[in-house]
Amino acid sequence: MDSLTRGRDDPAKIQIEHLSFSYPDKQERRVNVIDDLSLSLFDHEFLAIVGASGCGKTTLLNIIAGLLPPRVGKLFLDGQEIKGPGLDRTMVFQDDAVFPWYTVHGNVEYGLRISKTKKEERERQVAHYLDLVGLSGCDALFPRQLSGGMRKRVDVARAIITKPEVLLMDEPFASLDVMTKEKLQEQFLKIWNETRMTVVFVTHDLEEALFMADRVVVMVSHPGRISRIVSVPFDRPRTKDLKTFAEFQAMRRDLGHVLDADQEHST
């Protein structure tokens, strides 16, 4: 509910102004992936971005992360222009990004080692965050010894242990089976309720977006742009029963029609 009561004139956590991005295609023509996109994110907000594949949502996330430079437009984090990747914006990827050569412990403490945190403090934090994602006692295991869901939790712990200003999530649960996915959604919401960090959550799963987020940004493609922004009215903490409520299903249906129209348009 926070996002509804919060006024538009609150200072934005992330400000995206007239962002355009294009990839060169094989004939060296520019293909517009994102066209003149502006968006504000509030502090402590859980924002989901949904859209069909190819609508530029992952590209947008990579630009916020600083992994890709915007072609036109500017991005600000707390009023500072984003110029490259940094510890203040960590990311959870769709693919398996856990380093196979480090143990669970080594993976989770990675960001703390980069920021030169003292060893005792690192140990304390790693223990805390492993507990938070339910992986206590797995410290010494290598990623190959874990299931996909467990590896994803390592990835989440690794990204949030640095206490980023903004956590970027690129379809983090898309490759998991339905049961693991639901479990991780609930677990992550619980963690989020305790930490209230700002989250940008990219997904193509409308149910997931409505279940997790305060606001849902719907993007359409060719070129990638925002079609509408929907505030999600459901109270927190949310449990998975919420997904069966009529109001929830009605919202899901409406958003579905928007995406379907975009799909038909492009094919």
Partner 1 sequence: MRDKKNLSLETGRSRLSDFLPKIIVPFGILTLWIVVSELRLVRPIFVPPPENVWKSFVGMYRLLPKAILTTVVMTLSGFGIGVGFGTISGLVMAYNKAIRDFLGTIFDFTRPVPVFALIPLFILWFGIGRAPQIALIALGTSVVLGVTTLEAIRNVPTIYIRAALTLGAGRQRIYSTVIVPYIVPHLIGAIRVAAAASWGLDVAAEFMGSQTGLGYLIVMQQIYLRTAGIVMLVAIYSVLAVIFDTLIARLEERITPWTERRSSIGVVASIVGSG
Structure tokens at 222: 């060719």
Contact with partner 1 (CB under 8 A) among 53, 80, 145, 193:
145
Q: Binding to partner 1 (CB under 8 A): which residues in 230-259? A: none
Query: Is residue 86 a contact residue for partner 1 (CB under 8 A)?
Result: yes
Part of the chain binding partner 1 (CB under 8 A), chosen from 16-24, 46-54, 157-165, 191-199: 157-165
Contact with partner 1 (CB under 8 A) among 29, 118, 144, 257:
144
Query: Is residue 77 a contact residue for partner 1 (CB under 8 A)?
Result: no
Nearest partner of 110 among 97, 196, 28, judged by Cα: 97
Q: Which is nearer to partner 1, 66 or 211 (CB)?
A: 66
Cβ burial of 90 (10 Å; 0-12, 13-18, 19+) is buried
* CB of residue 226 to partner 1, shortest distance in Å: 24
Under 8 Å between Cβ of 133 and 156: yes
What does the alpha-carbon distance between residue 43 and residue 23 come to, in Å, rounded to a whole number?
31
Part of the chain binding partner 1 (CB under 8 A), chosen from 39-47, 90-98, 195-203, 242-250: 90-98
Query: Is residue 163 a contact residue for partner 1 (CB under 8 A)?
Result: no
3 state SS of 225: strand
Q: What are the residues whose beta carbons fall under 8 Å from the beta carbon of 218, sequence distance 6 or more?
A: 50, 51, 226, 227, 228, 229, 230, 255, 258, 259
Part of the chain binding partner 1 (CB under 8 A), chosen from 97-105, 177-185, 200-208, 243-251: 97-105
Structure tokens at 213: 């987020």
The residues binding partner 1 (CB under 8 A) are 65-67, 85-87, 89-91, 93, 95-97, 99-102, 110-111, 114-115, 142-145, 158-159, 162, 168
